[in-house]
């Protein structure tokens, strides 16, 4: 049985233990049985509205034993992170209880002074002036912090708007990406594992592939999904695919139940899949064109996105011209590259995208290099035998495939 295979259980609350403040079938009994077996339990919730003592009271009312230290809300995890960073003056968009949790961690809640951080949570009393003031403070230099990014939360009448809906409004208005604390991001799991021995056999149990399962796997933890039906993902590398699926917590004690062994892939989980293009351009001496990118300082082949309405042919000729000043024309397709281990790219903002890249061999129409210093710091032709050491990791493969002169395009 699964209960015997772990000694620490990080259990989501909404949709696993209770729904609309009522215990779900079997939850009380299963948790009591875990206690009886000496298991370590942590309760996690991405609901930023209640304080931990309010969650503790709710659990007691439905017959579940817990201590304050065992409860980790995204609001409390946010408070801990603010304290670690020294961001003590805060403007809060959220509940009174969220503000109280931040005060307990040493934060000063301000309505008038310029804050060091703006914290976006969730509350039914949030109105347009709150979001407007938050956007103004962020634009003026305050850090943009979100307790979580859940777009909705479950209820007996269906999904209801949650923090992510408010965060999206402020992000759209400011053009800035928030620091997100709650699941599936690492701060929440670090807070939950505080005081847990490093060699503990920990598992995450939750009802959301997109927060609980994804977050567990990003943190290197196995994950069990609570769902009435199995959830299937196309790729075995999908971080959202659970290692086991149970209909409720009592099935932790079903004999013969096992879980898949999770092995963290070599790539960061991408938030989006995008179309990309790359060019291998040789001059008359057989040297290859490289640019040193402004966003990360590394050398690479000219490459970029396909914009809406563009063909890949139009995209690569535009990218080469924008980045190096060269006018080129496409000769032929070298290959299409999609494997996430080489095609997942992390931006300085923290966003990760997986690219489906069409790589083309191109011919120069004219060879006068010039660049504006915005996207490209330098551009030059290099001998394939004497390339820069700090070349982007996926680009040597593209160049090798171009030099192979294979009769058909590669698919990698």
3-state helix, strand, coil in the chain (%, to 5): 30, 25, 45
Cα 329 to Cα 327: distance, rounded to the nearest angstrom: 7
Q: Nearest-CA neighbor of 90 among 124, 121, 129, 122?
A: 121
DSSP lists the bridge partners of residue 337 as: 357
Of these residues, 14, 150, 243, 401, which one is catalytic? 14
Angle, CA 346 vertex, CA 199 and CA 143 arms, to 5°: 85
What one-character-per-residue DSSP string does 184-202 give?
Answer: TSHHHHHHHTTTS-TT--E
DSSP 8-state class, residue 212: I
> Is-catalytic flag, 14?
yes
Cα 119 to Cα 132: distance, rounded to the nearest angstrom: 13
Cβ contact 196:40 at 8 Å: yes
Question: Helices 96-104 & 74-85, crossing angle to 10 degrees?
Answer: 40
- Record the tokens describing residue 9, joined without a space: 């259980």
> Is-catalytic flag, 20?
no
What one-character-per-residue DSSP string does 126-143 give?
Answer: --HHHHHHHHHHHHTT-E
Cα 271 to Cα 145: distance, rounded to the nearest angstrom: 19
Instruction: Please tell me whether residue 61 adopts helix, strand or coil conformation.
Output: helix
Of these residues, 12, 47, 212, 401, which one is catalytic? 12
Cα 138 to Cα 166: distance, rounded to the nearest angstrom: 14
Cβ contact 206:213 at 8 Å: yes
Cβ contact 251:268 at 8 Å: no
State how beta strands 288-293 and 299-300 pair.
Answer: antiparallel
Q: Where in the sequence numbering do the catalytic residues fall?
A: 12, 14
């Amino acid at each position: 049985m699964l209960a015997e295979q772990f000694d620490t259980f990080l259990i989501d609350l909404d949709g696993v233990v209770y729904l609309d403040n009522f215990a779900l079938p079997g939850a009380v009994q299963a948790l009591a049985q875990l206690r009886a077996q000496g298991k370590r339990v942590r309760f996690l919730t991405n609901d930023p509205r209640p304080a931990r003592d309010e969650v503790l009271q709710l659990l007691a009312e439905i017959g579940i034993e817990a201590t304050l230290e065992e409860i980790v809300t995204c609001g409390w995890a946010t408070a801990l992170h603010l304290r670690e960073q020294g961001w003590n003056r805060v403007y809060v968009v959220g509940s009174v209880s969220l503000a109280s949790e931040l005060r307990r961690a040493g934060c000063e809640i301000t309505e008038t002074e310029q804050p060091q951080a703006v914290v976006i949570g969730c509350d039914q009393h949030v109105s347009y002036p709150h979001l407007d003031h938050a956007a103004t403070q962020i634009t003026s230099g305050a850090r943009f912090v979100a307790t979580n990014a859940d777009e909705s939360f479950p209820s007996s009448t269906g999904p209801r708007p949650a923090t992510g809906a408010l965060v999206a409004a402020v992000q759209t208005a400011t053009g800035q990406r928030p620091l997100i604390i709650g699941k599936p991001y690492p701060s929440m799991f670090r807070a939950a594992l505080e005081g847990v021995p490093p060699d503990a056999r920990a598992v995450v149990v939750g009802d959301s592939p997109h927060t609980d399962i994804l977050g567990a796997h990003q943190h290197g933890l196995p994950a069990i999904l609570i769902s009435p039906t199995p959830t299937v993902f196309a790729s075995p590398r999908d971080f959202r695919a659970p290692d086991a699926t149970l209909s409720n917590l009592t099935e932790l004690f079903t004999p013969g139940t096992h879980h898949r062994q999770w092995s963290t892939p070599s790539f960061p989980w991408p938030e989006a899949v995008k179309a990309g293009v790359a060019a291998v351009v040789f001059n008359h001496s057989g040297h290859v064109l490289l640019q040193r990118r402004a966003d990360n300082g590394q050398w690479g082949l000219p490459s970029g996105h396909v914009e809406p309405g563009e063909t890949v042919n139009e995209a690569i000729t535009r990218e080469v011209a924008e980045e190096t000043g060269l006018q080129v024309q496409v000769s032929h397709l070298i290959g299409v590259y999609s494997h996430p281990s080489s095609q997942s790219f992390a931006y300085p903002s923290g966003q990760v995208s997986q690219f489906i890249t069409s790589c083309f061999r191109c011919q120069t129409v004219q060879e006068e290099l010039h660049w504006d210093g915005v996207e490209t710091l330098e551009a030059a032709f290099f001998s394939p035998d004497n390339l820069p050491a700090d070349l982007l990791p996926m680009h040597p493969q593209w160049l090798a495939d171009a030099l192979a002169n294979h009769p058909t395009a590669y698919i990698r």
